[in-house]
Amino acid sequence: MSIEVGSKVTGKVTGITNFGAFVELPGGSTGLVHISEVADNYVKDINEHLKVGDEVEVKVMNVEADGKIGLSIRKAKPQPERPERPERPERPQRPRHNNNRSNDRNNDRHQPKENFEQKMARFLKDSDERLATLKRATESKRGGRGAKRG
């Protein structure tokens, strides 16, 4: 019997390691069920779920060129139907706040076009204002200009 990806087969657990379980498939080939594919929840110890000699139904996930076969127990189980998510209600649009920025794009639409010099002058003015605000804030944290350091 050839092993095809996606097929479900019944096999026998022949060995257990800390990373998974080896399952002998019909036809004598052996595949590995990784510990993450044993159950839907987190598996800390695989021995709590499987024992050598257990008959398990597995789904063939992949067959490598070197003959390794990847198996899954949890994907062989019928998956419960997920309820369809209800449509999200339409949220009303909130008005956007301008924060009084002079270079806000919404305000630019209503102003006449600026040439390069006007844009540069506006940028320099905004930059100087921001630097002055920043300088005031940092000086107040350091104790001001003539503060003694002790």
CATH of the domain at 15: 2.40.50.140
Task: Count other Cβ atoms within 10 Å, centred on residue 58.
Answer: 25
Structure tokens at 135: 């300088």
**Res 105: pLDDT:** 55
Instruction: Look at the pTM and tell me if it is higher than 0.85.
Output: no
Let me know if residue 45 belongs to a domain. yes
Q: What is the pLDDT of residues 78-123, one digit of tens each?
A: 777 777 778 878 888 777 665 555 555 555 566 678 899 999 999 9
Mean pLDDT of the chain: 83
Q: Evaluate whether residue 141 is within a structural domain.
A: no
Longest dimension (CA), the chain: 90
Domain count, the chain: 1
Answer whether residue 130 shows pLDDT above 60. yes
Classify residue 60: in a domain, yes or no. yes
What percent of the chain has a predicted confidence (pLDDT) above 70?
A: 82
Instruction: Indicate whether 37 belongs to any domain.
Output: yes
Alpha carbon distance 97, 99 (integer Å): 6
Would residue 150 count as lying in a domain?
no
Residue 83 lies in a domain: no
Q: Is residue 35 part of a domain?
A: yes
- Cα separations in angstroms, 45 against 12, 48, 53, 56: 19, 6, 17, 17
Residue 21: which domain range? 7-72
**What CA–CA distance (Å, rounded) separates 110 from 91?**
28
Read out DSSP for 24-72? EPTTS-EEEEEGGGS-SS--S-GGGT--TT-EEEEEEEEE-TTS-EEEE
pLDDT at 33: 94
29 occurs within a structural domain: yes
